[in-house]
Structure 1
Amino acid sequence: MGILRYDHPDIMEFITSKDSENSVLRNFNISVGLDDTFFEKLDKEGYIELKNPHNEKIIRRIKASALWDTLVNQAWKTGDPGMIFLDEINKKNTVKNLGDIEAIGMEA
């Protein structure tokens, strides 16, 4: 499974990566990591700053609703992406001393 945070500069391409029947990700599960901040911005019709994960430089801004609409439409159309609720996962993190959980592994 591949997981990408909603504020990554490549998020829109990631969300639509399974749009084509010829996609190399056709048999690969993808999910978007979301947090409470995303839903607050969505609720207030705000913007998300897409940041370079290496230096936190803002690459561009997009409306939270545009990302949400694309995400849910693609999930309906292709079955992906899933949604990973990072804040909820970290509330129940039993190894907080190791840091925040940023991704999960799917067990067969």
Structure 2
Amino acid sequence: MMKNGERKQSGTSMNMFSLILAIGCPFLVFLVPQNNVLSNLTGLHHLEVVLYLTIIIFFMGMFSFKEATNWKSMTRSVFTIVITFTMIFYLCFVLFIGEMMER
């Protein structure tokens, strides 16, 4: 049983973990195309793999909202959502334009 002043650590760790992954997503856009192993194993385009990972991190950020107990964890959740939503929009745009150029 939790006493007064004790917090649940699982929400804070998921919140921090999703923020760290969200900050790393823009770097994956530049690192993943250098590696052909992912596209050979999955059969997907490099940026599609990053897009799917970003969508997973976006939902992790959404779930960490319910664990937010103070303004710091709420700010981390908001930054996670903003970073990942921007990356999702950017990656969808790039993949859509790239698909249009192939035709």
TM-score bin (small chain): 0.3 to 0.5
When normalised by structure 2's length, the TM-score is: 0.33
What TM-score, normalized by structure 1, do the two folds share? 0.32
Q: Give the number of the structure whose alpha-carbon radius of gyration is greater.
A: 2
Q: Which has the higher strand share?
A: 1
